[in-house]
Copies of this chain bind each other. A is one copy, B any other.
Amino acid sequence: MTDHIAIVGAGCTPFGEHFDRSYTDLVAEACREALGEAGLQPRQIGAAWLSTAFPDVGVHRGRSGMDLAESLGVGGMPITRVSNFCASGGDALRNAAHALLAGQVDVALAVGVEKQRDRPPQESIVKLMVETGHPFYQKGFTAAGSFAVFAVRRMKEFGLTREDLAAVSVKNHRHAAGNPKAHQRKPVTAEQVLGSPMVAWPLTLLDCCPTTDGASALVLVREADAARYRSRVLVAGMGFSVSSGWDAPFHDDAFDFIGFPAVRQAAAAAYAQAGIGDPAKEFDLAEVHDCFSINELIACEDLGFCGRGESPRLLRDGVTRLGGRMPVNPSGGLLSCGHPVGATGLRMVYEVMRQIQGVAEGRQVSGARQGVTQNIGGPGAVAFVSVLRRM
């Protein structure tokens, strides 16, 4: 029994506003690209995992595996729906890997999708959540608010500035100009980021990822079976951890509002599997979960690219920009691609695969052989990290 799996096909719809396409259409498009690359028909998939995080604030699709069966037009396949906040995509990949490594299936499909632009008025959702006791909204917390406190704490501890935050957004929007599948491809200046409407101090609108529709899909096999496929990238390591959210810290987590224990735990597990000794030197690129600009800075530290508080310097020194020693978010990240929640974790893997294949035209990291993805969920409590490698 092999210990690793390989990706032999990947698909991703353009991320953006797709009022003209249904949930089912988006899933079908991503699956078509992935299965086409692998040279497989839907019937040849042994089992599938579907990641959609929030059917109830979207189009009420993706509550069960049935919606993927419908897109594929295949009955009789086992399809699990996983949902783990914004890290749902990574968890779909992980559960698919288990079934492959257990020998239960020979070909697995992991699909992530979220259709977020067709939705009821935001006000009515929030109102229902407050009325029905949703614990976050009752406390008045939003996603932006829950990460803004990390920025504030880092201002106090490390002298982080609003300009440091804006620099993340500027870099990632510049990267996105080369990514035809990104939602927001227009470059922005630091002045524009700083001057855009304040969402949750110190995060402005351009420090936040947009609300986006999209789907992503991966076809997976055991490493030993990969040789027969034209495209193949090794999943050298995976880690997944559920730790405390900052709203309910466990005593042993030493939650400090600076970084995320779950990310450090997931990275440690993935690095151990992949034999990564020095994450600051061994990756050619990273796709990290920059739902807000602050999150990319935190990710660079939790993933071991630099020490605590040092990520703004890494950015200023040009290390993490395209052309630098280790580009972070060459795709444009969530800030530019957008964040169709269930799809994001798999979209990151799609990007790193295309980079390793050397076909990321317009944003290619030259000589990319090994990359890392980091996908977080909830208040940083759920984290998935994967290491991908040329094979």
A contact residues vs B (CB 8 Å cutoff) = 1, 53, 56, 59-61, 63-66, 68-70, 73-85, 87, 91, 94-95, 97-104, 118-120, 124, 128-129, 131-135, 240-245, 248, 250, 252-253, 261-262, 265, 377-378, 381-382
Shortest CB–CB separation between residue A253 and chain B, in angstroms? Answer: 5
What B residues does A261 contact at CB under 8 A? 75-76
CA separation between A241 and B65, bound complex, in Å? 9
Task: Report if A75-B243 is in contact (Cβ < 8 Å); known contacts: A69-B381, A378-B66.
Answer: yes
Contacts of A91 in B (CB 8 A): 80
CA of A59 to CA of B262 in the docked complex: distance in angstroms? 25
Are A81 and B80 in contact, with the CB atoms below 8 A? Answer: no
From B68, B85, B241, B248, A78 is in contact (CB under 8 Å) with B241
* Chain B residues, CB < 8 A from A80: 82, 84, 91, 94-95, 240
Copies in the complex: 2
A-B contact pairs, 16 of them (CB 8 A): A1-B1, A59-B133, A64-B382, A76-B261, A78-B240, A78-B242, A81-B82, A81-B83, A82-B83, A97-B102, A98-B102, A99-B102, A102-B102, A118-B133, A120-B132, A128-B128
Contact call A382/B60, Cβ cutoff below 8 A: no
Are A77 and B128 neighbours in the complex by a CB distance under 8 Å? no
Which listed residue (B61, B73, B98) contacts A95, Cβ 8 A? Answer: B98
Instruction: For A242, give its contact among B60, B65, B119 (CB under 8 Å).
Output: B65
Q: Which residues of B contact A59 (CB under 8 A)?
A: 132-133
Query: A97's closest neighbor in chain B, by CB?
Result: B102
Instruction: Please name the 6 residue pairs, one residue from A and one from B, whose CB atoms are nearest each other, closest first.
Output: A101-B102, A56-B56, A98-B98, A75-B243, A102-B102, A78-B240
A243 partner residues in chain B, CB cutoff 8 A: 69, 75-76
In the docked arrangement, what's the CA distance between A129 and B60, Å? 8
Q: A72 vs B262: C-alpha distance in the bound complex, in angstroms?
A: 16
Nearest-Cβ distance from residue A349 to partner chain B, whole angstroms: 17
Contacts of A82 in B (CB 8 A): 80-83
Known: A60-B132, A64-B382, A66-B382. 16 other contacts (CB 8 A): A56-B56, A59-B132, A64-B87, A65-B242, A66-B85, A70-B244, A75-B241, A75-B250, A76-B241, A76-B265, A77-B241, A78-B94, A98-B98, A98-B101, A101-B103, A120-B128
